[in-house]
Amino acid sequence: MNICFLMYPWDEIDPENDTSLALIHECVKRNHGVALCTPANLTIRNSVTSAFCTVVGRMEKVPSGLKSFYKQAKIREEMLPLAGFDVIFMRANPPLDPLMLNFLDSVKDDVFIVNSLQGLREANNKLYTAAFGDSHSNIIPVTHVSKNKKYLVQQIKESPAEKMILKPLNGFGGSGVILIEKSAMSNIKSLLDFYVTNSDGTSNYVILQEYIEGADQGDIRVLLLNGEPIGAMRRIPGSDDHRSNVSAGGSVAKHTLTREEKALCKQIGPKLVKDGLFFVGIDVIGGKLVEVNVMSPGGITYMNKVYKTKIQCQIIDFIESKVTAKLQAFDRRSRLRKEVEDA
């Protein structure tokens, strides 16, 4: 199997905690061909969609540790056609680059893409969660999405809660997420000015969300594969930050999914699979779905450490099964076509 990771540059990888590196490491261990490229390195040559790739050389003996593997890996640069890969694994950091998806549209029928392009288009920002639908309203906190500052102020005043969460629609990694309180309405208005209005006169959408009690104790990151949970951890905010994202200084701890959380996963799993969102990270607080992360969900290395497991093995097993099924379907169709042609 040949797999291309569409992600950030090789030299920006964190060799100790990087989920993408854990996946690459597992592929190399299985002797799969591995390359990676950034969205900026996509190109078209003679009407063929290609990429300037960093190719990871095969190794006779693959180091067991990620840090050693990263240090010893031999890489080279080469332009390669994307349709020549069996899999394209999307690991680019948000925000989503629409032009990147336009490049990939030309190879989506030839290559198994994780996650699907249509799924990424629909779910790349927080609207996917906010508009999950009435049938899921019991698992989503009360949410408002708008760029109308008067409307947003009105919702804050009318909310029965004293606190709410404000965040930019296209933020990621906990960036821009703030806690607001009714007791500071004058500050709230200036914050909305800052978040909504740009210096050039344009405006941004923001999300105003019900504050869930217990959020100060952190959230639950759950990784789902093909609609089923395969790992979970509690993310605990740092002492001087309300955000629980590890990138914002939070820490992690073991977590066993509650019956409520398992029911939530079961409720949203079929839609994720239907939308081609096979590898997803969700954030849950108090049994409520807060975010769906579809571009480069992380947490594998942290979960592996606290549970002494190897979640990446399950993911690569799944990808191998999808590629095998795709090849078997192609072979079957080829045999049947020949049977018809020879009749």
Q: For 206-244, what is each residue's pLDDT tens digit?
A: 999 989 988 888 899 999 999 999 999 999 987 555 445
Residues 15 and 110 both lie in one domain: yes
Question: What are the pLDDT digits (tens) for 70-89?
Answer: 999 999 999 999 999 999 99
36/99 same-domain check:
yes
- Grouping H, G, I as helix, E, B as strand and the rest as coil, residue 197 is strand
Asked if the model's pLDDT at residue 332 lies above 70, the reply is: yes
Do residues 235 and 157 both lie within one domain? no
For residue 14, count CB atoms less than 10 angstroms from its CB and return exposed for 0-12, middle for 13-18, buried for 19 or more.
Answer: middle
Q: Evaluate whether residue 202 is within a structural domain.
A: yes
CATH number at residue 272: 3.30.470.20
Q: Could you give phi then psi for residue 155, rounded to 5 degrees?
A: -65, -35
| Residue where one domain finishes, among candidates 161, 192, 210 | 210
Q: Which CATH number belongs to the domain containing residue 171 in this structure?
A: 3.30.1490.20
Q: Is residue 77 part of a domain?
A: yes
Beta bridge partners of 224: 229, 280
Q: What is the CATH number of the domain that holds 44?
A: 3.40.50.20
Task: List the Cα angle 38/43/44 in 5-degree steps.
Answer: 155
pLDDT on residue 264: 94
Amino acid 319 reads I
Q: What integer pLDDT is reported at residue 135 of this predicted model?
A: 56
Q: Residue 222 falls within a domain, yes or no?
A: yes
Per the domain annotation, does 61 fall within a domain?
yes
Q: Do residues 118 and 151 both lie within one domain? A: no
Domain co-membership, 220 together with 173 = no
pLDDT average, residue stretch 302-321? 96
Which residues lie closer than 8 Å to 23 by C-beta, 6 or more apart?
Answer: 5, 89, 91, 300, 312, 315, 316
3-state secondary structure of 195: helix
User: Has residue 133 been placed in a domain?
Assistant: no
Helix (H, G, I), strand (E, B) or coil at 151: helix
Residue 152 CA to residue 206 CA, distance in Å, equals: 9
Q: Around Cβ 188, how many Cβ atoms within 10 Å?
A: 21
Residues 6+ apart with CB under 8 A from 212: 141, 285, 286, 288, 290
User: Among 106-110, 210-214, 276-280, whose mean pLDDT is lowest?
Assistant: 210-214
pLDDT tens per residue, range 121-168: 999 877 888 766 555 567 888 889 999 999 999 999 999 989 999 988
pLDDT-derived band at 343 (thresholds 50, 70, 90) equals: confident
What's the total number of domains in the chain?
3
Instruction: Kindly state whether residues 99 and 161 are assigned to the same domain.
Output: no
Q: What is the pLDDT of residue 206?
A: 92
Alpha carbons 147 and 225: distance in angstroms, whole number: 34
- Both tokens of residue 144? 């408002």
pLDDT in tens, 239-267: 555 445 555 457 889 999 999 999 999 99
**What DSSP element (H or E) covers 88?**
strand 87-90
Identity at 277, one-letter amino acid code: L
**Integer angstrom CA distances of residue 142 from 160, 212, 288, 290:** 11, 10, 10, 10
339 occurs within a structural domain = no
How much is the mean pLDDT over the chain?
A: 91
pLDDT at 136: 54
Q: Could you tell me what percent of the chain has a pLDDT over 70?
A: 93
250 and 173, same domain (yes or no): no
| 272 and 232 part of one domain | yes
Any domain includes 336 = no
**Do 36 and 111 lie in a common domain?**
yes
Give CA–CA dist 253/71, Å, rounded: 28
Instruction: Locate 31 and state its tokens.
Output: 């002797």
Select from 170, 192, 210 the last residue of a domain.
210
The reported pLDDT for the residue numbered 138 is 79
Which among 210, 232, 263 is the end of a domain?
210
Taking the C-alpha atoms of residue 60 and residue 46, their distance in angstroms, rounded to an integer, is 36
The two three-digit tokens of residue 88, written as one number: 């394209």
Residue 183: give the domain boundaries.
142-210
Are 99 and 171 members of one domain?
no
Please check whether residue 335 lies inside any domain of the structure: no
Do 88 and 24 share a structural domain? Answer: yes
Closest-CA residue to 205 (of 170, 153, 162) = 170
Same domain, 266 and 157: no
Other CB atoms within 10 Å distance of the CB of residue 160 = 6
Beta bridge partners of 251: 236
